Structure 1
Amino acid sequence: MLLRLRVSLPDRPGCLGQVARALGALGADILQVTVLEREAGRAVDDFIVSWPGAVTTDEVRDRLSAMPGVRVEGVWPTRDVPGSAPDYDLLMHVAAEPSRGIATLVDALPGLCGAEWSLALAEGVVRHASLAAPPSFDLPEPPLRAATLVTEKLRLMLLPVTTHGLHVVVARADGPVFHRAELDRAARIVAVVSALLPTSSR
């Protein structure tokens, strides 16, 4: 099983190595580490690991949280394949068929963002939805710029596509609130896709 782990740990030499050794001792194979943040004496890292057996996310959280100074901010299944370049693949598909750019973007974002679903809204109406997305979605106050939002059940990224009068919503039920590094990356991807769309559709 592939899992993504978001871990906050002291930002000092050797601490990342201790977490890596602890994961190895638990049987996890670390496939990728991404540093999301380093400030105020702490770091926030995302690990993509291959975990043997049918381990639950609660078991993973409990084992890592026992380490001094380590906070587990999220553990959730992922479809990320380390070593691949899905963001480049998305942009290539949009460049090859720009008329389907928004649909291609919406279909790709869940995998790119470690999320369950995404959709594109225009004037409150769903224009395109990925698999598992709801048929309708209420966005009472669409933001003017990329933002995160937490509801009772979901963690959301809200990504305006101002050139097309759209808002893209990305959602996950498992895992932590979207980090600002994730939001910035998604907003840049949306901006590039928007620039690739046909002029006539803007």
Structure 2
Amino acid sequence: MLLRFRVSLPDRPGVLGQVARAFGVLGADILQVTVLEREAGRAVDDFTVSWSGVLGVDELRERVSVVPGARVEGAWPTREVPGANPEFDLLGHVAADPERAYQTLVDALPDLVSAEWAAAADPATGRVAYASWAAPAEPLPADPPSRPAAFSENARHMITVPLPEAALHLVVARAQGAAFHRVELDRVVRLVEIVSLLARSAVGRTPAQA
């Protein structure tokens, strides 16, 4: 299985190697390391690892936590395959069929940011326009922010982004793992901006132009 580990560690030479060895001792194969932030003498990294599952995830957490100064902020399953460039696949599908732009975005986002579900709903009525598998019947948080935001509420970690051109509000959520980092929020916002531009290209098309 693929797992995502978010680790906060001292930003000094040798510590990353110690964390890598800690994973290797228990047979976890590191497929990708993503640096989320480096400030105040610490770094926050996301490790994507291939794990046999013979031992529990807690065993891996404990092993990594033995590294001096390292702190595991979250561990959860992911379907984001390193090196697959899923953003390009998403944008390619949207460009091919811009009339389904937002449905395609909602379907793809959970895998793109290691979330569990995504949905787009009317913020005034709560009516769901588009939803991925596993999305709840009422996906929006109470009084969703008017600007893109990442926060936690009712044991869920969420990203919410307004879709003004569609009069909808997008939410991406996970209950497992760490809260969404600002890097993940920025990634979703940029994808929304590009998808919205592609969706706009479908408005007003005549059959001859399609």
Task: Bin the TM-score by the shorter chain.
Answer: over 0.9
Structure 1, unaligned runs of 5 or more = none
Output the TM-score relative to the length of structure 1.
0.95
2: CA distance, partners of 1:54 / 1:173: 24
Q: What is the CA distance between 1:140 and its match in structure 2?
A: 2.6
Q: Which amino acid in the other structure matches residue 14 of structure 1?
A: G
- Is 2:60 the counterpart of 1:56? no
Q: What is the CA distance between 1:51 and its match in structure 2?
A: 0.9
Counterpart of 2:10 in structure 1 is: 10
Counterpart of 1:169 in structure 2 is: 171
Q: What is the CA distance between 1:200 and its match in structure 2?
A: 4.5
Preserved CA contact (<8 Å) 1:5 1:75: yes
Preserved CA contact (<8 Å) 1:161 1:191: no
Preserved CA contact (<8 Å) 2:32 2:82: yes
Counterpart of 1:199 in structure 2 is: 203
Preserved CA contact (<8 Å) 2:121 2:140: no
Counterpart of 1:180 in structure 2 is: 182
Preserved CA contact (<8 Å) 2:2 2:79: yes
2: CA distance, partners of 1:133 / 1:54: 30
Decide which structure has the larger Cα Rg and report it: 2
Offset from partner CA, 1:153-174 (integer Å, 9 cap, x none):
2100001112221111000010
Q: Which moved more, 1:119-128 or 1:132-141?
A: 132-141
Preserved CA contact (<8 Å) 2:140 2:171: no
Match of 1:151 among 146, 150, 153: 153
Q: What is the CA distance between 1:58 and its match in structure 2?
A: 2.3
- Is 2:122 the counterpart of 1:140? no
Q: What is the CA distance between 1:138 and its match in structure 2?
A: 4.1
Offset from partner CA, 1:115-141 (integer Å, 9 cap, x none):
000000113211011001112234332
Report the RMSD for the aligned CA atoms in angstroms: 1.4
Q: Which amino acid in the other structure matches residue 95 of structure 1?
A: A
SS state of the match for residue 185, structure 1?
A: helix
Preserved CA contact (<8 Å) 2:73 2:178: yes
Dislocated runs of 4+, deviation >4 Å: none
Q: What is the CA distance between 1:101 and its match in structure 2?
A: 0.4
SS state of the match for residue 194, structure 1?
A: helix
Q: Which amino acid in the other structure matches residue 52 of structure 1?
A: S
Counterpart of 1:26 in structure 2 is: 26
Preserved CA contact (<8 Å) 2:119 2:172: yes
